[in-house]
Amino acid sequence: MSARTRRGAANTAFYATAVPLAILFLAPLVWSGFTSVYGSRATGGEPGFGVDNYLRLVEYGAGLETYVVNSVIVAVVAVVGTLVVSVLGGYAFSRFSFPGKNLLFLGALAILMVPHPTILIPIYQMLRTFGLQNSLIGVGLVVVMFQLPFGLFMMRNAFDGLPRELEEAALIDGLSRFGALRRVLLRGVTPAMVTVGMFAFIASWNEFLTPLLFLTNGDSFTLPVALVSLRSGEFGAIDLGALQAGIVVAAVPCLLIFILLQRHYVRGFTAGAVRG
């Protein structure tokens, strides 16, 4: 078999696998987008295209804007908190030697093995101690904790991939360790930071159980929790049209961020995988 024939067979196998998978993953989102603008509920009467589903969604409860802003607050806390702790922790695990270093790192990764719902009640009691129950900041901090194992793993591998001579040269030039980290090393680990931040954003934006348990004030609900309330509707009726519109609104930010940061995400994830 010639090389050209092998390449052709490989391309055929690739598209035969990739196309059905792409259809499988995209079909639900495309269906949600179509049904959100088509049907009698979308037009307020006759079947056809319209935006009534989105209008009802905007006016539901405390208003769509309130729920989106609440989700943004949780996402900002989660992304900033995850990046700060992951960068500093990953740098420490990569550059410093101290007793119990490997055991501590494995302990941090072990959080991945613990089902999140089983530790939410102790976390709630801790947040109540600090007065952060029923708080968007508290929900964001919980997401930070759940994202730390992945963040520490990525950032430690990213710092391991940088030459130590680079940091030593910065120290010789008079920079402190923090100055070398901020002005030199962060540029080299930017793809990993983008990857960690993107995962933290998607996790916080889609988080449902934590805000459902920790938030009791309806005006503080995040978008996923508000959509569940929307499903119940008045008198238990399910407004499927508005629900489909809500799914589209919730999915758009994640899709945009993934598309915009895809190049950095691939570089960061590949660098981490090589060192891991």
Residue 79: name the closest of 191, 192, 194 by CA: 194
Give the pLDDT of residue 83. 96
Number of Cα atoms under 13 Å in the Cβ half of residue 130 = 11
Comma-separated ranges of CATH 1.10.3720.10 domains in the chain: 56-274
What pLDDT is attached to residue 113? 81
User: What's the pLDDT at 222?
Assistant: 93
What is the three-class DSSP state of 38?
strand
pLDDT at 276: 43
235 torsion bin: left (phi>0), alpha (psi -120 to 50), beta (else):
left
**From the first residue on, what is the mean pLDDT of each consecutive set of 10 residues in the chain (276 residues)?**
80 90 90 90 83 88 91 96 95 90 88 82 87 90 92 92 88 89 90 92 92 88 87 67 89 89 72 52
Tell me the per-residue pLDDT of 50-76, one tens digit each, with 9 for 90 and over.
889 899 888 888 889 999 999 999 999
Pick the CATH number of 56-274 from 1.10.3720.10, 1.20.200.10, 3.30.2290.10, 1.10.260.40: 1.10.3720.10
